[in-house]
Chain A
Amino acid sequence: MTATIRLQREPFDAAAEASKLTRGRTDIGAVVTFAGICRGEENGEPIAALTLEHYPGMAEAEIARHVEAAERRWSLMGVTVIHRYGRIEPGENIVLVVTASSHRQDAFAAAEFLMDYLKTRAPFWKRVEHASGANWIEAKQSDDSAADRWQARPPRRDAAE
């Protein structure tokens, strides 16, 4: 399987990254592309920007561990994960997950699994800037619950398509 993991300051091109995964291949039947975008408000208050801090070295390692876990669990032909750090303004992209498989179920499930774990296990922290100052965003219980539910599921489903 082709796995690409990148951390970068610059924005990414989601469509270009997805087409890189499938170029020249005819065995891939499904590509799921998820992009997380910076919203213009947080808890009802307009924001100027987010700044993402990360733990260099561990962030790559932790994402790689989850990509490997996804590969063991589903039948994947390619995975790309890109996570930005630094200052990001509303409307800009933050994170990209692309999964490729022969059928859609595995591609959808793996993309959701990877996003749920990126939210709760990848060492990134968001600081939000708004008119009244700046503060660190607090972790959400709903994100922990989203990640936890993968532990309760059966290890693998056969694609029935």
Chain B
Amino acid sequence: MKLLYFAWVRERIGKPEEEVELPAEISTVADLVNWLARRGEQYAYAFENPKVIRAAIDRAHVRADAAIAGAREIAFFPPMTGG
């Protein structure tokens, strides 16, 4: 599965994207955030406050309880500040 990171989430993790193989028990966006946060210091820093992290599955906003089955691309980013 392809993961994408933007803004300070990207900076803290230190890369804009990566391919990951997920364990079968990861079924929601919140599970994925918890799993990523345990991958090392940089990930722990990026995901230290999961409440502020926003997510998108296949380029559409989703909530933390969204199922990730069938997703091709999941993105994590801070609250948006466009416009």
Contact = CB atoms under 8 A, between A and B. Distances in A.
Interface size class of A (residues with CB under 8 A): 20 to 34
Given A55-B6, A58-B59, A125-B7, A138 B81 contact: yes
B81 A125 contact: yes
B75 A122 contact: no
B73 to A, nearest CB: 9
B83 A123 contact: no
A57 interface: yes
Interface string A122-143: 1111110000000011110001
17 contacts: A36-B83, A53-B6, A55-B59, A61-B59, A62-B60, A62-B61, A83-B83, A95-B82, A115-B83, A119-B80, A121-B61, A122-B82, A123-B56, A124-B82, A125-B80, A125-B82, A137-B81
Given A55-B6, A58-B59, A62-B61, A136 B78 contact: yes
A83 B77 CA distance: 19
Interface of B: 4, 6-8, 56, 59-61, 75, 77-83
Say what secondary structure dominates the interface of chain A. Answer: mixed
Contact of B78 (A58, A83, A120, A139): A139
B59 A124 contact: no
A36 to B, nearest CB: 6
A52 B78 CA distance: 13
A47 interface: no
A87 interface: no
A36 B77 CA distance: 23
A118 interface: yes
Nearest to B79: A139
A83 B82 contact: yes
Contacts of B56: 55, 58, 123
A28 B9 CA distance: 44
A123 B80 contact: yes
Given A36-B83, A118-B83, A55 B4 contact: yes
B24 to A, nearest CB: 27
Contacts of B6: 53, 55, 123, 125
Given A53-B6, A55-B77, A136-B7, A126 B82 contact: yes
